[in-house]
């Protein structure tokens, strides 16, 4: 691949996710930038890399770096660029920066990195976690450009915007789904082995956006744009209702005016099977199986739910795609239309979003402290039918063998196995906190990366705990999947703990997440990943303890300075 070193800006990560941009002939400091411009589009619009190439090739990291450098020079009054992380080097492809674009209206005369306005909701775009879903990145670059110097610029009067246009540089360059470690990034949001995923969560921790959308591609589909909201029932129902009745309804209406078919994102799967964990297991039954449709996964290793669990309005967008260059222009246009309608809806409801999300986050802390009997944590869930809507009517392209070029015929499809509801099947009372041994830094570092606050015990003590004894267990045969069966009983115990052990208090913003990660029966927890070696034996004890004392133990914050 041809390098454009003369055009590229070398970017350096500095404190606070700010950026120093260095050019071959010097640097562009805050003092050298142009004064703030009015909130009107520039006359000449900078082309995105895909537009510049006439959509004849996919934009690469070098193209994105050059484009963002030029854009930051043109729109320094509303935009700054930083590096949120860096992919790992591979034999066939070197390490690359993972860019973060920060956009907000500056105070008059301000310079340096853009600072978000706390009086407005912040929207985070992430794209191309799957490297071969190329239109996601191209559309987000267009959104960034049009916010900075184009027709969308007035939206910055109502919202702040963060954008990570390319989160999987290796997969993008190789046009493959996975990253340089052969990891599916959108199944890595619990164990967090990929630097790209850690970068997404660093950005989320640093800015705590009220709204997030993760942009992907699906197969060729009549519904050119599909957007899904959160599905995990631990997340506030009011957020899911607002997502559907307000945001998605307005997007559908806006796209209808563009003659772009829209539907809430649906997943087709074998009836009675849930493959959303990402576990690589063999299909148990040969031949065709009856299929079902449902909304997207409840899993927390999914980027949408992993941010939604913090009481966030979190979404996924899936654009229709044949995954070929011939259709890149159309694919990007559909994605762009969906994202534009999404952002316009969010901006139109900015005060309501701010009040709803921040209110839910504040109430979560109150609920975590109260630990009311009627407010449990749900560890297992199932997709269920809705008696009030037993079937679903959809439109689809008629399947023809061999495929025929041109506009395919559209036919109606009646979905009989329709499972729109999510029901909890195993719940536990909210815990006060958890005790983790001091030698389990692998668990603690992962918790920190996910935005969980962890304390370190300052002295030896004997604490009131609840210990899980394993009555029966049938371990999973595959990584990523929870034990097929695990029965435990909690027993009260006075347990010695030691200086340097860890305490995770559940009265914190991650109050809904912590039990899902640390309970042994959770299908979302660390117990399902082989790397943590947490699966106990029958008759044994689960090594993470529930704290049941009245007063939290004396701790100091562990690594509060983490980036």
**pLDDT tens, position by position, 218-275:** 999 999 999 999 999 999 999 999 999 999 999 999 999 999 999 999 999 999 888 8
Helix (H) or strand (E) run with residue 263 in it: strand 262-264
Nearest by Cα to 63 from 73, 49, 51, 52: 49
Whole-angstrom Cα distance, residue 337 to residue 193? 33
Please tell me whether residue 308 adopts helix, strand or coil conformation.
Answer: helix
Task: Return the domain boundaries, the chain.
Answer: 79-102+115-280+296-366, 384-421, 431-557
Whole-angstrom Cα distance, residue 376 to residue 85? 36
Nearest by Cα to 205 from 508, 502, 524, 437: 508
pLDDT the model gives residue 148: 96
Query: Residues, the chain, total?
Result: 563
pLDDT per residue as tens digits for the range 44-85: 789 999 999 999 999 999 999 999 999 999 999 999 999 999
Q: Report the DSSP beta bridge partners of residue 424.
A: 381
Whole-angstrom Cα distance, residue 481 to residue 479? 6
Question: Helices (H), strands (E): how many in the chain?
Answer: 12, 25
Instruction: Tell me the pLDDT of the chain (563 aa) as tens digits.
Output: 433 333 333 333 333 343 332 222 232 233 333 434 445 554 478 999 999 999 999 999 999 999 999 999 999 999 999 999 999 999 989 999 999 999 999 876 667 788 999 999 999 999 999 999 999 999 999 999 999 999 999 999 999 999 999 999 999 999 999 999 999 999 999 999 999 999 999 999 999 999 999 999 999 999 999 999 999 999 999 999 999 999 999 999 999 999 999 999 999 999 988 888 888 765 555 556 899 999 999 999 999 999 999 999 999 999 999 999 999 999 999 999 999 999 999 999 999 999 999 999 999 999 999 999 999 999 999 999 999 999 999 999 987 766 666 678 999 999 999 999 999 999 999 999 999 999 999 999 999 999 999 999 999 999 999 999 999 999 999 999 999 999 999 999 999 999 999 999 999 999 999 999 999 999 999 999 999 999 999 999 999 999 999 999 999 999 887 76
Measured on CA atoms in the order 426, 431, 433, 438, is the torsion positive or negative?
A: negative
pLDDT the model gives residue 284: 54
Residue carrying structure tokens 């020079």: 73
- Longest CA span, the chain: 73
Query: Alpha helix locations (H) across 385-461?
Result: 441-449
pLDDT the model gives residue 160: 98
Q: Are 493 and 476 in contact (CB under 8 A)?
A: no
**Residue 529 half-sphere exposure toward CB, CA atoms < 13 A:** 20
Q: Report the DSSP beta bridge partners of residue 384.
A: 421
Provide the CATH topology of domain 79-102+115-280+296-366: Aminopeptidase (3.40.630)
The tokens describing 276, both together, are 């959303």
Backbone torsion region of residue 198, taken as left when φ is above 0, otherwise alpha when ψ lies between -120 and 50, otherwise beta: alpha
Q: How far is CA 357 from the centre of its chain?
A: 17
Measured on CA atoms in the order 46, 48, 49, 53, is the torsion positive or negative?
A: negative
Residue carrying structure tokens 């999510």: 422
Nearest by Cα to 142 from 349, 331, 346, 318: 331
The tokens describing 401, both together, are 């063998």
Q: Report the DSSP beta bridge partners of residue 293.
A: 268, 418
Residue carrying structure tokens 């066939």: 92
Please tell me whether residue 408 adopts helix, strand or coil conformation.
Answer: coil
Residues 6+ apart with CB under 8 A from 212: 123, 124, 125, 126, 204, 304, 307, 308, 312, 313, 314, 315
- Output the CA torsion 369→374→375→379 (10° steps): 130
Please tell me whether residue 13 adopts helix, strand or coil conformation.
Answer: strand
| Buried-state track 470-481, b at ≥16 Cβ within 10 A, e below 16 | beebebbeeebb
pLDDT the model gives residue 13: 36
């Amino acid at each position: 691949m041809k390098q454009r070193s003369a055009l590229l800006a070398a970017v350096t990560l500095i404190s606070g996710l700010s950026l120093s941009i260095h050019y071959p002939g010097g640097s562009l400091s805050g003092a050298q930038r142009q004064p703030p411009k009015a909130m009107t589009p520039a006359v000449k619009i900078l082309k995105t890399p895909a537009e510049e190439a006439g959509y004849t090739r996919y934009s690469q990291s070098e193209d994105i770096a050059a484009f963002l450098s030029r854009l930051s020079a043109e729109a320094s009054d509303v935009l700054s660029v930083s590096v949120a992380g860096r992919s790992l080097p591979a034999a066939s492809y070197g390490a690359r920066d993972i860019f973060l674009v920060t956009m907000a209206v500056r105070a008059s005369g301000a310079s340096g990195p853009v600072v978000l306005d706390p009086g407005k909701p912040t929207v985070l775009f992430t794209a191309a976690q799957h490297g071969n879903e190329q239109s996601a990145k191209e559309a987000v670059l267009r959104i960034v450009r049009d916010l900075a110097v184009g027709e969308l610029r007035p939206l910055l009067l109502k919202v702040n915007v963060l954008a990570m246009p390319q989160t999987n540089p290796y997969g993008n360059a190789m046009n493959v789904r996975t990253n340089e470690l052969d990891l599916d990034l959108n199944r890595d949001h619990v164990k967090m082995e990929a630097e790209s995923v850690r970068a997404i969560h660093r950005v989320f921790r640093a800015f705590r956006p009220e709204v997030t959308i993760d942009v992907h591609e699906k197969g060729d589909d009549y519904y050119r744009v599909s957007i899904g909201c959160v599905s995990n029932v631990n997340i506030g129902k009011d957020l899911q209702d607002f997502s559907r009745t307000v945001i998605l309804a307005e997007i559908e209406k806006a796209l209808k005016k563009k003659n772009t078919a829209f539907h809430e994102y649906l997943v087709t799967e074998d009836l009675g099977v849930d493959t959303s964990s990402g576990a690589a297991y063999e299909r148990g039954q040969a031949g065709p199986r009856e299929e079902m449709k449902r909304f997207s996964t409840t899993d927390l290793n999914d980027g949408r739910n992993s941010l939604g669990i913090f009481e966030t309005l979190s979404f996924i967008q899936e654009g229709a795609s044949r995954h070929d260059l011939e259709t890149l222009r159309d694919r990007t246009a559909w994605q762009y239309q969906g994202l534009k309608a999404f952002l316009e809806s969010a901006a139109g409801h900015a005060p309501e979003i701010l009040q709803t999300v921040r209110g839910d986050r504040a109430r979560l802390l109150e609920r975590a402290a109260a630990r009311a009997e009627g407010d449990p944590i749900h560890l297992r869930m199932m997709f269920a039918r809705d008696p009030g809507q037993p079937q679903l009517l959809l439109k689809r392209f008629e399947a023809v063998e061999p495929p025929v070029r041109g506009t395919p015929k559209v036919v109606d499809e009646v979905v009989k196995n329709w499972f729109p509801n999510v029901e909890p099947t195993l719940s536990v009372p909210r815990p006060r906190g958890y005790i983790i041994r001091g030698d389990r830094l692998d668990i603690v570092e992962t918790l920190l990366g996910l935005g969980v606050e962890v304390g370190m015990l300052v002295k030896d003590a004997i604490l009131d705990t609840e210990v899980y004894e394993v009555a029966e267990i049938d371990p999973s045969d595959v990584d990523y999947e929870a034990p097929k069966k695990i029965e435990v009983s909690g027993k009260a115990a006075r347990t010695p703990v030691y200086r340097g052990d860890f305490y995770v208090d559940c009265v914190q913003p991650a109050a809904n997440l912590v039990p899902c990660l640390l309970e042994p029966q959770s299908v979302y927890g660390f117990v399902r990943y082989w790397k943590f070696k947490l699966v106990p034996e029958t008759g044994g004890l689960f090594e993470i303890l529930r704290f049941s004392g009245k007063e939290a133990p004396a701790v100091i914050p562990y690594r509060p300075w983490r980036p």
